[in-house]
Amino acid sequence: METSSIKKLEKFEVQEIIRQALREDLGGYGDITSKYTIPSQSTSCAFAVCKQKEGTVLCGIDIMQFVFEEIDKRVVFEKLKQDGDFLNDRDIICRVKGPSASILSAERTALNFLQHMSGIAAFTSKFVSIASKYNIKVTDTRKTKPGLRKLEKYAVACGGGFNHRYGLFDGVLIKDNHIVAAGGIANALKAAKAMAPHQLKIEVEVKTFAELDEAIANKADIVMLDNMSAEQMSEAVKIIREKTSGACLIEASGGVTLESVEDICKCGVDIISAGCITHSAPAADFSLEFE
């Protein structure tokens, strides 16, 4: 099966997030410990190293470089690994060389990006290694940390996952609450099909077989099976495949965990979307060590 190809984040896409993170850490007087303790002419070499016993997936190496550049253009950054690489404990991912105070001022902000993004990439890759055996795509959701969606969705791709819609603006996904407010699936689907930009498929969330029938009857392009049991899901997949001759995509969603993902795969869906890969991935451990 196809695997997601990792696409580099360009500097102009992330610069504002980086600046805000630095402002957050350096507000007021800036890095006073370095200012007060380190001679201004002092230069250092340092390297960043993986400290995760079981290894991790690298994500954020370019952003790390942007952070150092933003603080001081004189810092030389040598990249030894690429985003998406699997790392073993004690693998060195980059070296930096330059004014000591600048390296220290950038250190924590750079590592904060790295540990967060690599944590997501590594957690995602665990889901992918299971689902890919069944030729099923794992995608993210919109359950991301406020302001960090671009980075978190990029990390999902680095871990081998695929991206679902980015926000409310680039996909039509009719969920339970919309169905209530719209007065039923038929109403909602008809309105969306008539008015949405024509390049968008229309997706509907269903919880029951009655809803499923209504979704199929009104030509949903994608059906999301929400919080169904494995048995129900298998049955739903069978119905959809028969009635739509394969024209309708099937997505499973709702409380997917590392423990439950294989059972869902066995139901034969096309896509599994998992909120936990972005909202609950533990950080990966890295540190910057001076030589």
Q: Which 135-174 residues touch a copy of itself, going by CB under 8 A?
A: 137, 139, 142-150, 153, 162-174
Sign of CA dihedral 209, 215, 236, 4: negative
The yes-or-no answer on residue 205 being catalytic is: yes
- Minimum CB separation from a copy of itself for residue 72, in Å? 7
Per-residue tokens: 168: 């409310």
Q: Torsion over CA of 272, 274, 278 and 279, rounded to 10 degrees?
A: 170
Q: Which residues pair with 139 in a beta bridge?
A: 162, 273
The Cα 285–Cα 54 span in angstroms is 11
- Minimum CB separation from a copy of itself for residue 52, in Å? 12
The amino acid that residue 157 corresponds to is A
Instruction: Please report where in the chains the tokens 């950054």 appear, as a residue.
Output: 77
Q: Which residue among 54, 194, 231, 259 contacts a copy of itself (CB under 8 A)?
A: 194
Nearer to a copy of itself (CB atom), residue 130 or residue 182 = 182
- Minimum CB separation from a copy of itself for residue 13, in Å? 6
The yes-or-no answer on residue 193 being catalytic is: no
CA distances from 216 to 96, 98, 175, 245 (A): 57, 62, 15, 11
The yes-or-no answer on residue 145 being catalytic is: no
Query: How many C-beta atoms surround the C-beta of residue 244 within 10 A?
Result: 17
The interface with a copy of itself within residues 81-140 (CB under 8 A) comprises 100-101, 103-105, 107-109, 111-113, 115-116, 119, 137, 139
The yes-or-no answer on residue 108 being catalytic is: yes
The yes-or-no answer on residue 219 being catalytic is: no
CA distances from 91 to 49, 104, 107, 283, 285 (A): 6, 21, 18, 17, 12
Count of residues that bind a copy of itself according to CB under 8 A: 112
Q: Does residue 41 interact with a copy of itself by CB under 8 A?
A: no
Q: Which part of the chain contacts a copy of itself (CB under 8 A), choosing from 80-88, 124-132, 230-238, 278-286?
A: 278-286
Per-residue tokens: 138: 């794992």
Q: Which part of the chain contacts a copy of itself (CB under 8 A), choosing from 3-11, 86-94, 125-133, 209-217?
A: 3-11
Q: Which residues pair with 86 in a beta bridge?
A: 57
Q: Which part of the chain contacts a copy of itself (CB under 8 A), choosing from 76-84, 128-136, 235-243, 269-277?
A: 269-277
Identified catalytic residue from 143, 149, 150, 190: 143
The interface with a copy of itself within residues 45-74 (CB under 8 A) comprises 46, 70-72
Q: Which residue among 49, 130, 191, 239 contacts a copy of itself (CB under 8 A)?
A: 191
b/e code 36-75 from CB counts within 10 Å (16+ = b)? eebeeeeebebbbbbebeeebbbbbbbbbbbbbbbbeeeb
Q: Does residue 22 interact with a copy of itself by CB under 8 A?
A: yes
Active-site residue numbers?
108, 143, 175, 205, 226
